[in-house]
Amino acid sequence: MAEAQPHKVTLTEADQWPQPRWMHDGSSSVTGPVRILYLAKKAESEEKFKTCLSQLSKAEKRFQNIQPWIAHLRLQCGRLEVKKDSESLRNLWETTEWVRQNPQWLTGSPYSASLREEYLEGLMSVAEGYAQSTPERAWTAVENLLALFEFLSTSEKAKILKLAGDVAQQLKNPRGALAYYQRSLDQEYETALAVKVQSLRKKLLIPEVPSSSDGQPSMTADASTPAEKELAQLLERMKKWGRKGDHVAAIVDGVRLLRQYPASPQAEIASNQVSESLKVVVKGGAQSKIEKVLRELKKCDGDNLNRWALRLFAQREYELAEKLAEASAEKLETAGQGARTLLLIAKGFVTEGEYNQAIKIYTRISDNYPGKDWAHEARYRLGLVKFRQQKYDEAKPLFEGYLANPNREEFRLSAMHWLWRSELELKSEKAATVAQQLVKEYPLTYYGLRARAELNGGQLEWSDETHAPLKAEMWLTDSEQQSFDRFKLLLQAGWLKAAQTELRSLPDPLSAEERLLRARLFAASMDYFTAIQWTQKSWEDNPGLRVKRFLPLVFPKEFSNLVETQSEKYEVEPLLVYGLIKQESSFRTNAISPARAMGLMQLMPGTARDVARYNRTGSVQLPDDMFDPEKNVYFGTSYLKRMIRAFDGHVPLALAAYNVGIGNMRRFLRGRDELSELGKKQTSHYLHEVWVDELPWEETSFYVKAIMRNLLVYRMLEQNSVGLADPLWAPVVMQTPLEASHPNDAKPKPGP
């Protein structure tokens, strides 16, 4: 027998990887032996589960190297078919037996975790399905489930143990059932099951085990200490003052409670009560009461001061919030918290056009906390205010000061951009140097692309510099080679999720070139989230690879039939929709955000329902409908069009509203006279783009610039050379050059 050797796999740029997209575009180009696999997967996607199972039965022996994946799909289709037709339960049973007879599939391989989950679900369906008619077979399924115990979550363990009890009951074994029910309760308490256990104990004449609901001994005597009594009295008195409408007195008692008993459980209640009373006092507007309340509040700890400052900030009571945040910042233990809240309040003043108030806070933070993160941010934001006030000579050194510290990355890009614009306004010869630095450090950002174009006479171009075709070697173990072989077969058949799983199991790339070539494999299998990350990492490691022919790895155009159809229907540029999908979901159909936004275009549940009402499409089933690419692109494009129309065709404002909500954006624009008519100005001159970096929502600021960047790159990839029009979001062919729209001068400004 030959000794095992490492396997060499050579990847080249010339490799043609299949990119099946039949599951999204209706094409049926899969031919050859793998067509059986394609037909099975297609039947599953169309919920034709019997057809799926029929095709898989033909594939099992032909494709032995992917039998675990075939078993996975057999379990899935079998389980779903049982829900439609209980007669198919035997088929599902046979599939679970097939997996049981191959225990090596369940551990140690890329497919193992996914197969275990499906096997678990299949066994549950078998046990439940046979519990009444054939409990012996159901018990065998239960035993197989219990063999997976180490892989289960607490909730899953409780569910399976409860099922074991149910099956034991059917087998006329009540004592065994009781034992499993009790074990289930030990994993996760369930009231209905506890009642069932109590009833079963009575039937079996087994005495109850004494316990309390919280597991603690009951207190039969009044154990209250004098301190506890005073605490209760203070809290009750607070509530009484609140009911009587004397909120100043309520706050006084609340502060006393918080100072004397800061670690008590009642402290949280008191803090919230103080916050509610403060809201009423501020709304009343009596200055003497407000001043008295502020004096009381400042006696408290920094955490509570900071909390109340944030509540006042949310009420747009910026001046009062500033006083509490300042008091918090003066306390050593909460200096950072207070300073950050002051930053937030200063941004609030900016949104109201109270620039002098903002300048005062930014200056104070910068002076009082040298070297701290919040001091550096304050300096950058002070520069933005000065730029807004057209005091470019004062803005310039503030941006330079921020950039002087190489460890400050958060606002480095924006600071460099506004330094460049300050130099332009000052007609400085340094402007071109700053622009060149911007292009070098941040080539594929909105600001970097604008600098590239303006340095090139207004034309955005990306040269595809001569670069030798890429080639890289992978060295794989036997098991890794098998994973790679499975990946190739699964990719060809269009089993994309399975292909991605196998691909992710391979060892990490050893060079930027290999990483980029591997990114092509992820793109082929429609995992653009990973493809984008890996491509960007390869560019960081080797900037010479950032050439035009690799840009589509980061800026793909998937779901083209859906995007083109809906874009035409709603008269929205398709490239803008692609740009939004890229930013929102990286083309992941089942993407869901922490805020519960769903699908390709990341629609919130409320937004999806609103679009359904607006378009009269009937009820919407969430989240399933938003995981359907066709419905998601329809809803998302429709909503985007509404946002564009709501802001007079001003695309960046529409994008901000899409992200943070139309109400928030309208309030933001109403806060200042200079922004109230922004939508109607229809210009993307930089003096009218300061608002993007003034937004109080960092995520939204990044979001708007990212999608505008995406739009420019997509246009550049289509047109090769794109002239920057004014506004930038206007159709590609425009008459008006960008520089002609300077608000202070109708003549074109000189280039840098």
Mean pLDDT of the chain, nearest integer: 91
Which class would CATH give 374-442?
mainly alpha
* E strand residue ranges, 6-139: 7-12
Give the pLDDT confidence score for residue 466 in this predicted structure: 64
Lowest mean per-residue pLDDT among 224-228, 330-334, 342-346, 665-669: 330-334
Give the pLDDT confidence score for residue 741 in this predicted structure: 41
Give the pLDDT confidence score for residue 18 in this predicted structure: 92
Lowest mean per-residue pLDDT among 369-373, 497-501, 553-557, 692-696: 369-373
Distances (CA, A) of 407 to 379, 441, 443, 537, 539: 15, 14, 19, 20, 21
Fold match between domain 22-203 and domain 374-442: yes
* pLDDT of 211 over the 80 cut: no
* pLDDT of 25 over the 70 cut: yes
Which is the catalytic residue, given 156, 425, 584, 694? 584
- Provide the 8-state DSSP code for 477: -
* E strand residue ranges, 550-689: none
* pLDDT of 173 over the 80 cut: yes
Q: What integer is the mean pLDDT of 315-342?
A: 86
CA-CA distance, 709 to 483, in Å (whole number)?
Answer: 37
Residue with tokens 């074990």: 183
CA-CA distance, 345 to 362, in Å (whole number)?
Answer: 10
Q: What integer is the mean pLDDT of 74-90?
A: 91
* pLDDT of 132 over the 80 cut: yes
List, as one string, the DSSP characters of 539-598.
HHH-GGG--GGGGGGTS---SHHHHHHHHHHHT--HHHHHHHHHHHHTT-TT-B-TT--B
Give the pLDDT confidence score for residue 410 in this predicted structure: 93
CA-CA distance, 157 to 396, in Å (whole number)?
Answer: 63
CA-CA distance, 352 to 313, in Å (whole number)?
Answer: 12
Q: What integer is the mean pLDDT of 326-347?
A: 85
Percent of the chain with pLDDT strictly greater than 70: 94
* pLDDT of 397 over the 60 cut: yes
Locate the domains of the chain by residue range: 22-203, 374-442, 496-546
Whether 454 sits among the annotated catalytic residues: the reply is no
Q: What integer is the mean pLDDT of 540-566?
A: 95
* pLDDT of 583 over the 50 cut: yes
Long-range contact list for 87-91, CB < 8 A, 24+ apart? 88/50, 88/53, 89/125, 89/126, 89/129, 89/130, 91/53
* pLDDT of 221 over the 80 cut: no
Give the pLDDT confidence score for residue 61 in this predicted structure: 93
Q: With contact defined as beta carbons under 8 Å apart, do 141 and 130 qualify? A: yes
CA-CA distance, 325 to 317, in Å (whole number)?
Answer: 12
Instruction: Name residue 263's amino acid.
Output: A
- Provide the 8-state DSSP code for 459: E
Percent of the chain with pLDDT strictly greater than 90: 81
Structure tokens at 169: 């009951």
List, as one string, the DSSP characters of 407-458.
T--TTHHHHHHHHHHHHHHTT-TTHHHHHHHHHHH-TTSHHHHHHHHHHTTT
Give the pLDDT confidence score for residue 464 in this predicted structure: 74
Give the pLDDT confidence score for residue 332 in this predicted structure: 63
Higher pLDDT, 206 or 415: 415
Q: How many CA atoms lie within 13 A of 509 on its CB side?
A: 22
The residue length of the chain stands at: 752
Which string of b and e fits 204-232 if b means at least 16 CB within 10 Å?
eeeeeeeeeeeeeeeeeeeeeeeeeeebe
Give the pLDDT confidence score for residue 92 in this predicted structure: 96
Residue range 612-638, pLDDT digits in tens: 999 999 999 999 999 999 999 999 999
* pLDDT of 54 over the 90 cut: yes
Q: What are the helix (H) ranges across 444-544?
A: 446-455, 478-493, 496-504, 512-524, 528-541
Closest CA to 640 of 696, 682, 602, 693: 602
Give the pLDDT confidence score for residue 210 in this predicted structure: 54
Give the pLDDT confidence score for residue 224 in this predicted structure: 65
Secondary structure class of 171 (helix, strand, coil): coil
Give the pLDDT confidence score for residue 738 in this predicted structure: 41
Neighbours of 598 (CB within 10 A): 25
* pLDDT of 220 over the 80 cut: no
Q: What integer is the mean pLDDT of 573-601?
A: 97
Q: What integer is the mean pLDDT of 223-236?
A: 82
* pLDDT of 733 over the 60 cut: no
Lowest mean per-residue pLDDT among 317-326, 556-565, 574-583, 680-689: 317-326
Q: Which CATH architecture has domain 22-203?
A: Alpha Horseshoe (1.25)
* pLDDT of 720 over the 70 cut: yes
* pLDDT of 731 over the 90 cut: no
Residue range 237-280, pLDDT digits in tens: 998 998 999 999 999 999 999 999 998 888 999 999 999 999 99
* pLDDT of 752 over the 50 cut: no
Structure tokens at 509: 């790339």
Lowest mean per-residue pLDDT among 17-26, 362-371, 412-421, 563-572: 17-26
Give the pLDDT confidence score for residue 690 in this predicted structure: 98
